[in-house]
Amino acid sequence: MEKLNQLKNILQEVHDIQMAQNLLEWDQSTNMPVGGALDRSYQMGTLAKISHEKFTSDEVGSLLDSAAKEVSSLNSDSDEPCLVKVAKKHYDRERKVPTQWIEKFVQVTATAQTVWEKAKADSDFALFEPHLTEIVNLRKEYGTYFKPYDHVYDPLLDDFEPGLKTAEVQEIFNAIRPRQVALIDAIKKAKPVQDDFLYLNYAKDGQWQFGMNVIAKLGFNFERGRQDVSVHPFTTSFGWGDIRITTRIDENYLPTALFGSIHETGHAMYEQNIAQSLRRTLLCDGASMAIHESQSRLWENLVGRSYNFWSHFYPDLVKIFPSQLGNVDLDTFYRGINYVKPGMIRVEADEATYNLHIMLRMEIEIALLEGAIEVKDLPQIWNEKMQSYLGITPANDAEGVLQDVHWSGGMLGYFPTYALGNIVSAQIWDKVAEENPNLQDQIANGNFKPLLKWLSENVYQHGSKFEPKDIIKKVTGNTIQADPYMRYLEDKYKGIYNL
Amino acid sequence: MEKLNQLKNILQEVHDIQMAQNLLEWDQSTNMPVGGALDRSYQMGTLAKISHEKFTSDEVGSLLDSAAKEVSSLNSDSDEPCLVKVAKKHYDRERKVPTQWIEKFVQVTATAQTVWEKAKADSDFALFEPHLTEIVNLRKEYGTYFKPYDHVYDPLLDDFEPGLKTAEVQEIFNAIRPRQVALIDAIKKAKPVQDDFLYLNYAKDGQWQFGMNVIAKLGFNFERGRQDVSVHPFTTSFGWGDIRITTRIDENYLPTALFGSIHETGHAMYEQNIAQSLRRTLLCDGASMAIHESQSRLWENLVGRSYNFWSHFYPDLVKIFPSQLGNVDLDTFYRGINYVKPGMIRVEADEATYNLHIMLRMEIEIALLEGAIEVKDLPQIWNEKMQSYLGITPANDAEGVLQDVHWSGGMLGYFPTYALGNIVSAQIWDKVAEENPNLQDQIANGNFKPLLKWLSENVYQHGSKFEPKDIIKKVTGNTIQADPYMRYLEDKYKGIYNL
């Protein structure tokens, strides 16, 4: 295993550098004074360059081939063959893209992000348009390095969701679209639930204290992680032993911090429960964005927005905020945090409307790459789709086509993973519930250990050893299916809105 | 200037990596959960290896020679010739030491530090002895790579204090030793001042708030820095735009946090006021450990422990801690924070005794390197010197020879810079006072801007462009002189103790 060991040494160094990059980014979002921005951008650029050069060297290519032979006699599901296989896939992808393209992409997106910020602030799409056009052209070019493909969108999707095809996503989305639209229509006709108490003033300290208690009970391991505050919540890893999350606190809207913390805790517990044997390797990561999101959404929604969860935690919350919640009973609180209302902003969307925001974006991305639409027409297309799916029209581009950061960063192909995460979360949930009939009782008793144990054994421990579809197959025996998620939504809102 | 530009590009990348290393260390001391230690050590090792390899390459050697020719027509005090000259000095030093020695040193000191922690906890010098013997032998070997030298201690000293010779330090120390001993003897015979009020309970929040206010008024720039809490206070840099300090708070001893913060602020303001033209170069650093320490001590002691400083700040402190200090008048407070008492522990030593702790250590280091004494005899030698200089004898090795971390880390040659910092601080202070007759009035009015401006123009802006002795010459017109510091001490304590 001489070549394998040589390969592992290099991959370990690449991993170390990437973990240091994560720390540079985390610190930038949590602690860095404004004056540190320029130096920090140099540092991130230099580390990115070094890790890329180290990983894409000819030496790594030849070691990957030799190591593949050395591990060929081992069980293909064991750590080392998986490491070689996944590293080879990353290597091939990074080698296929010319350095000139990467340099151009970094430069174009750096400018585009600054312009987008201004365009969003001024609600001025025309300002952003030429930059987005350049990004779309670069992404079209990116696709050509991965020919042949079934669909021009496939290589982009594959960056975030290894092995998944555009046609598969479209089939899934086509299955859920009419059911989500019908559900929203039914809710619109029903009597609204009360949610005014969520908008009272909730002091930061109390919110922080309650959230820390909740995520500790869920199973966040504070010996190998911590929570901090940042403008946009995120999860990051500095290695197997240090997985961190951030949250943000809105003193005038209770759900922001709490569900943000639970969401990120879902991501973090995934990474905290990867097998220790994968430490310091590129397999010490989630299997894909969708699988990762399935776990953040599972803990946030299927656990955190459930009646049984609150039957356990609500008394504690009332104790911290007696003047705000003393007169709100559990049932009213539960309905309130599950209020459905079609809105303009994706990140504020409820469970019933969220996926429609995603479908709209994916349809636009695909049409742009196919050349079926032009960037200049996006505001109009966006607004028409919003009206068609959600029955509302943005008042301006800031709350419409300009709302998300992703396109300015060149991240086309990313959005679908959010909706797929929702869909997969319900499939996995059904399986847990099937194998553990006491699940709901355990949640009502504040006992999350059996759930975390099951998820760790069946999903988390594997890290990114397997492709997402293999993980889903292992866990559910099936491909990605839309029905469990739609049944979950329909059942839940039937109860809440008396549909 | 083609070669110079190529050189600068590489040096910038090396600098970026070193700044990332600093962040890894800072985070380890301020935020990292216990579980992150192993991954962090890998990351620090990998970045150290990469920056060392990048900097000591043959390519850098040849670029240094070519760049030296390219800049030879420029003013030798301008940025670029200084960069080439200082980089060349670092390069030669790093190249002279064989990689095998470095690897051995890293390995031996890593083990020694763990053993030292246990030896200190158990007060068991015998446990540490073989490791320290190995370290002394490695340091002897290290010296041989720098032959010829005047003294075997010179190469070690030069790592921390470029250009300074052992004989020069010995001469300075010989000049101050009898005067410090005589001063302490006189104080011992005087009536002790009151300091019991310093040991009352002072709540953390109030200490933090007061300290933040003080360092902001001194001139710490919070747009390019921040303060956090750690076990051992330190200053670090993540580039010109982000200089951070830490402090620790002892709720039962008021001076710890406050003077710790002021001390680190002195270090930080030095680095925050380096000329921006030196950003992202190895010149964006202090000139040496002693010059750096001269600034932390200047702000901590000559400013922060002065009567005029407290005539400005004391009313604010009493407002925060009325029950503890309401009955303590300014004069009593001033004498209390300047209490002198020979003690075992260097880091807790007052101004009158501090340098004697340093001399003892330097004498031992030199004798070890000369082979005049053996490691096994250190406890006895240590205790004899403590008795001779300070009139006290440690009860055990934990509060004697085992107290400091430096030797277990292989840092022989470092200690003298602490005392030199004290000495230089008074020389620079005399010069400021001479050129600015209103200095004491300004301090009494809480106006530190003229002092900071003077120090920035005369010392800080130059970063590490010049050798320490050149800086001292430029500022004071002289070499390092002991007399100003001794006069400062003698005058100060004459007042406090009515000598």
A235-237, strands of its sheet edge to edge:
A225-229, A243-247, A235-237
Tokens of A165: 């095809």
Are the beta carbons of A280 and B242 separated by less than 8 Å?
Answer: no
Least confident residue range of A99-113, A416-430, B198-212, B479-493:
A99-113
Task: Kindly state the DSSP code that residue B392 receives in the 8-state scheme.
Answer: -
A347: which residues sit within 8 A by CB, 6+ positions away?
none
Q: Rounded distance, CA B199 to CA B207, Å?
A: 13
Any CB–CB contact under 8 A between B145 and chain A?
A: no
Sign, CA torsion A283/A285/A290/A295: positive
Distance of residue B355 Cα from the nearest chain A Cα, in angstroms: 36
Decide if B462 contacts B471 (C-beta within 8 A): yes
Are the beta carbons of B226 and A279 separated by less than 8 Å?
Answer: no
Are the beta carbons of A31 and B226 separated by less than 8 Å?
Answer: yes
What 3-state DSSP class applies to B335? helix
Interface of B with A in 208-267 (CB under 8 A): 221-226, 228, 238-242
Any CB–CB contact under 8 A between A52 and chain B?
A: no
Contacts of B276 in chain A (CB under 8 A): none
Q: Which residue of B has its CA nearest to A243?
A: B36
Decide if B451 contacts B308 (C-beta within 8 A): no
Nearest CA-CA partner of A202 in A325, A107, A25, A348: A325
* Residues present in chain B in total: 499
As a three-state string, the secondary structure of B219-254 is CCCHHHEEEEECCCCCEEECCCCCEEEEECCCCCCC
Q: Which of A24, A35, A37 sits opposite B23 (nearest CB)?
A: A24
Amino acid, res. B419: A
Tokens of A355: 């996926």
Sign, CA torsion A368/A374/A376/A381: negative
Q: Rounded distance, CA A466 to CA A286, Å?
A: 10
Identify the burial level of B341 via C-beta atoms within 10 angstroms of its C-beta, where 0-12 means exposed, 13-18 middle and 19 or more buried: middle
Q: What is the pLDDT of residue B394?
A: 97
Contacts of A31 in chain B (CB under 8 A): 226, 228
Are the beta carbons of A47 and B23 separated by less than 8 Å?
Answer: no
- pLDDT reading at A103 higher than 90: no
Any CB–CB contact under 8 A between B50 and chain A?
A: yes
Q: What is the pLDDT of residue A469?
A: 95
Give backbone dihedrals phi and psi of A201, rounded to 5 degrees, phi first: -85, 120
Distance of residue B19 Cα from the nearest chain A Cα, in angstroms: 7
- Encode pLDDT of A247-280 as tens digits: 999 999 999 999 999 999 999 999 999 999 999 9
Instruction: Say what the alpha-carbon torsion angle B249, B250, B254, B255 is, to the nearest 10 degrees.
Output: -70
- Encode pLDDT of A305-320 as tens digits: 999 999 999 999 999 9
Pairing of strands A243-247, B235-237: unpaired
B235-237, strands of its sheet edge to edge:
B225-229, B243-247, B235-237
The residues facing B228 across adjacent strands are B246
Contacts of A223 in chain B (CB under 8 A): 33-35
Sign, CA torsion B327/B332/B334/B340: negative
Interface of B with A in 259-318 (CB under 8 A): 279-280
Peptide bond into B148 cis (omega under 30): yes
Candidates A43, A47, A52, A246: best to mutate against B (most CBs of B within 10 A) is A43
Q: Catalytic residue among B264, B271, B351, B365, which?
A: B264
Q: Which residue of B has its CA nearest to A17?
A: B43
Q: Rounded distance, CA B29 to CA B235, Å?
A: 11
Q: What is the pLDDT of residue B99?
A: 87
Contacts of B41 in chain A (CB under 8 A): none
Decide if A301 contacts A418 (C-beta within 8 A): no
Q: Rounded distance, CA B382 to CA B393, Å?
A: 9
Task: Kindly state the DSSP code that residue B349 receives in the 8-state scheme.
Answer: -
Helices A79-96, A37-55: axis angle to 10 degrees equals 110
Q: Rounded distance, CA A147 to CA A149, Å?
A: 5
- Encode pLDDT of A172-184 as tens digits: 999 999 999 999 9
Nearest CA-CA partner of A401 in A129, A149, A114: A129
R_g of chain A computed on alpha carbons: 23
Decide if A111 contacts A69 (C-beta within 8 A): no
Decide if B105 contacts B113 (C-beta within 8 A): no
Contacts of B31 in chain A (CB under 8 A): 226, 228
- Give DSSP secondary structure letters for A276-289: GGGTTSTTSS-S-H
Q: Which of A12, A16, A39 sits opposite B240 (nearest CB)?
A: A39
Tens-of-pLDDT digits for all 499 residues of chain B? 899 999 999 999 999 999 999 999 999 999 999 999 999 999 999 999 999 999 999 999 999 999 999 999 999 999 999 999 999 999 999 999 998 899 899 889 989 998 999 999 999 999 999 999 999 999 999 999 999 999 999 999 999 999 999 999 999 999 999 999 999 999 999 999 999 999 999 999 999 999 999 999 999 999 999 999 998 899 999 999 999 999 999 999 999 999 999 999 999 999 999 999 999 999 999 999 999 999 999 999 999 999 999 999 999 999 999 999 999 999 999 999 999 999 999 999 999 999 999 999 999 999 999 999 999 999 999 999 999 999 999 999 999 999 999 999 999 999 999 999 999 999 999 999 999 999 999 999 999 999 999 999 999 999 999 999 999 999 999 999 999 999 999 999 999 999 9
Identify the burial level of B231 via C-beta atoms within 10 angstroms of its C-beta, where 0-12 means exposed, 13-18 middle and 19 or more buried: exposed
pTM (2 d.p.): 0.94
B235: which residues sit within 8 A by CB, 6+ positions away?
B243, B244, B245, B246, B264, B267, B268, B271, B296
CB atoms within 10 A of CB B147: 9
Are the beta carbons of A50 and B13 separated by less than 8 Å?
Answer: yes
Give the pLDDT band (50/70/90) at residue A99.
confident
Are the beta carbons of A40 and B280 separated by less than 8 Å?
Answer: no
Tell me the count of A-B CB pairs closer than 8 A.
Answer: 128
E-strand spans in A365-465? none
Q: Which of B13, B35, B222 sits opposite A46 (nearest CB)?
A: B13
What 3-state DSSP class applies to A229? strand
Amino acid, res. B95: R
Amino acid, res. B4: L
Site of tokens 């004391």: B314
Whether the complex's predicted ipTM is more than 0.85 is answered with: yes
Distance of residue B175 Cα from the nearest chain A Cα, in angstroms: 44
